[in-house]
Amino acid sequence: MLETLRNAAPFLLQALWTTLWLGVVSFALSLAVGLLVAVVRLYGPPILRLLAAAFVSVVRGTPLLTQILLVYYGLPQLGVTIEAIPAVILTLALHAGAYTSEDIRGGMQSVDRGQWEAGYTVGMSFAQVLRRIILPQAVQVITPSLGNRFITMIKDTSLASVVTVVELTRVAEQVGSATFRYIEMFVIVAIIYWGANSLLSVGQARLERHLRRAYQ
Amino acid sequence: MNPEELHAQGIPHPHQSRACQIRAEGLHKRFGALEVLKGVSLSINKGEVVVIMGPSGSGKTTLIRCINFLEEPDQGRVMVCGLEVESGGRGGERGRRIRQLRAKAGMVFQSFNLFPHMTALGNVIEGPLQVLRMSKAEAEVLGVQLLAKVGLDAKVHEYPSRLSGGQKQRVAIARALAMSPEVVLFDEPTSALDPELHEEVLQTMRQLAKDGMTMIVVTHEVKFAREVADRVIFMDGGVIVEEGPPAEFFANPRHPRTRAFLRLVE
């Protein structure tokens, strides 16, 4: 196993890097999607609210793998061809965005209505109150669930392997099939995922502690 | 930046005496089947302190919430120093006018509604920073001044969670003053406080009245009304039942409903 690891190390490092940046970029975009969908669902005009609710329902009700395949293999049929990596990022961002929108929506609703009113009474606009008053308070509430979403995202990047993106899981598969060292390779990759996510969990716990301590 | 400098930039001085009225005309407001305001009109002169009393559900809170359009009236209009907003309609231009109106009509809530993620100073300067586009340095000077004025020089950098109810409410008053409003609306400012904390808030409000601030105060504090108000308004069932100078109002209430109410609160 050690020799397998030594031989595969350069590929694994490269692949870990791909996995991480895919996860980070997709997650950042999913926050933007989630915020937009949450705001529309809470405060948008009725038709947009309905569309946003339908988006969340469809995305949460269908498998991520199906969505990735649809975007990568399906869209070209309609004349829209997207490279593998952008296709994966787009899909992951929309998919996770549907989930984070629910977290963000709940977080915003947990902020007392009086906070909106206090912001309005000093003459602030909707966008100003949202950005300056509501979101900072919502963040405190939703950080734990967003942390979990991020970890889920890192694991979900493994599905990019089915559309030729060379990330951790794909490397394990490739090296495994070239050397017949499947068990070793998948165990190694599993450990790498686990290690990365454990580090993220520690970071998340620290962030939560920090946020709990703030404002005292 | 002090009020004189603000004034030089076209922001009205809070205490200047000039022909400026706060008027509400024919305000109607209905929540479902319940008609809370049945055509209330009110006219207040610059520098006047008006106390609104009345049983709960009489519409007094809704009235002041309609004055700054926190509650959208179904009918009627509001004028604050020449700026007029009417009920009905929508759109960006109207939204802008409502925001201007709110900047001119500060509000102090029963439940304080301080921003918990900002220090006392942060709470006070948020409006000047975001709405008046004041520089941070100027806003902080103003904020520290106002917090000193309400007796909280020592609490400038505390978060609301570290403040007592009375201190919170005084920060809320400073926050309202920071916009150099033409009028400050008080919605039962002492009702959420323990009795021993009422006085510090009332003292701050007395000082404000002495400085010439125009104030509309919904409260059950009879002593405050007697001492500070220029006029007391009694509301019941969504209408103004009677009004008058406090001496007269408390000594000779004309309407039986006023008399019944005063027997309860005094």
Reported pTM:
0.87
Q: How far, CA to CA in Å, does B49 sit from each of A16, A171, B180, B185, B205?
A: 69, 76, 17, 10, 10
Which residues of chain B are within 8 Å of residue A120 when distances are taken between CB atoms?
70, 99, 102
Of B116, B126, B162, the CB nearest to A122: B126
Instruction: Confirm if B116 and B159 have CB atoms less than 8 A apart.
Output: yes
Kindly state the tokens that stand for B265. 């609160």
| Dihedral class, residue B173 (left if φ above 0, else alpha if ψ from -120 to 50, else beta) | alpha
Q: What is the mean pLDDT of residues B123-150?
A: 96
The 3-state DSSP class for residue B105 equals strand
Q: Which ipTM was obtained for this model? A: 0.89
Q: Does B18 or A34 have the greater pLDDT score?
A: A34
Using the structure block, give the residue that is written with the tokens 């050690």.
Answer: A2
Q: What is the mean pLDDT of residues B249-262?
A: 92
| pLDDT tens-digit series, residues B54-74 | 998 899 999 999 999 999 999
- pLDDT above 70 covers what percent of chain A? 100
The answer, yes or no, to whether residue A191 has pLDDT greater than 60, is yes
Q: Per-residue confidence at B2, pLDDT binned at 50, 70, 90?
A: low
Scanning every residue of chain B, which has its alpha carbon at the shortest distance from the alpha carbon of A112?
B113
Which residues of chain A are within 8 Å of residue B146 when distances are taken between CB atoms?
none
DSSP state for residue B162 in the 8-state scheme: G
Asked if B114 lies within 8 A of A216 by C-beta distance, the reply is no
Of B103, B113, B175, the CB nearest to A114: B113
Asked if A124 lies within 8 A of B117 by C-beta distance, the reply is no
Which backbone phi and psi does B11 adopt, to 5 degrees? -90, 125
| pLDDT tens-digit series, residues A137-188 | 999 899 999 999 999 999 999 999 999 899 999 999 999 999 898 999 999 9
* Bridge partner residues of B216 (DSSP): B50, B185
Asked if B161 lies within 8 A of A215 by C-beta distance, the reply is yes
Give the separation between CA B204 and CA B220, rounded to whole angstroms: 17
| Dihedral class, residue A157 (left if φ above 0, else alpha if ψ from -120 to 50, else beta) | alpha
Give the separation between CA B172 and CA B177, rounded to whole angstroms: 9
Give the separation between CA A154 and CA A35, rounded to whole angstroms: 20
Domain at A2-214, CATH homologous superfamily: MetI-like (1.10.3720.10)
Give the separation between CA B178 and CA B121, rounded to whole angstroms: 11
Asked if B161 lies within 8 A of A132 by C-beta distance, the reply is no
The residue type at B204: T
Give the separation between CA A141 and CA A106, rounded to whole angstroms: 9
Q: In what order do the strands lie in the sheet with B105-108?
A: B105-108, B183-187, B214-218, B49-53, B231-236, B239-244
Cα–Cα nearest to A108, from A136, A148, A144, A150: A136
Residue B110: CB atoms within 10 A of its CB come to 18
Spell out where A83-176 has E strands.
Answer: none
Length of chain A: 216
The confidence score (pLDDT) of residue B183 equals: 95
- 3-state SS of B2-22? CHHHHHHCCCCCCCCCCCCEE
* Bridge partner residues of B23 (DSSP): B43, B79
Domain boundaries, chain A: 2-214
The confidence score (pLDDT) of residue B1 equals: 47
Which residues of chain A are within 8 Å of residue B102 when distances are taken between CB atoms?
120-123
Q: What is the mean pLDDT of residues A191-195?
A: 95
The confidence score (pLDDT) of residue B19 equals: 64
Give the separation between CA B244 and CA B242, rounded to whole angstroms: 7
Q: What is the mean pLDDT of residues B232-252?
A: 94
- Among chain A, residues having any CB pair with chain B shorter than 8 Å are 112, 114-115, 117-125, 128, 132-133, 136-137, 140, 214-216
Which residues of chain B are within 8 Å of residue A214 when distances are taken between CB atoms?
117
Scanning every residue of chain A, which has its alpha carbon at the shortest distance from the alpha carbon of B100?
A123
Closest-CA distance of chain A to residue B264, Å: 30
Scanning every residue of chain B, which has its alpha carbon at the shortest distance from the alpha carbon of A133?
B115
Give the separation between CA B251 and CA A178, rounded to whole angstroms: 100
Which residues of chain B are within 8 Å of residue A123 when distances are taken between CB atoms?
99-100, 102-103, 127, 131, 179
Of B70, B95, B116, the CB nearest to A117: B70
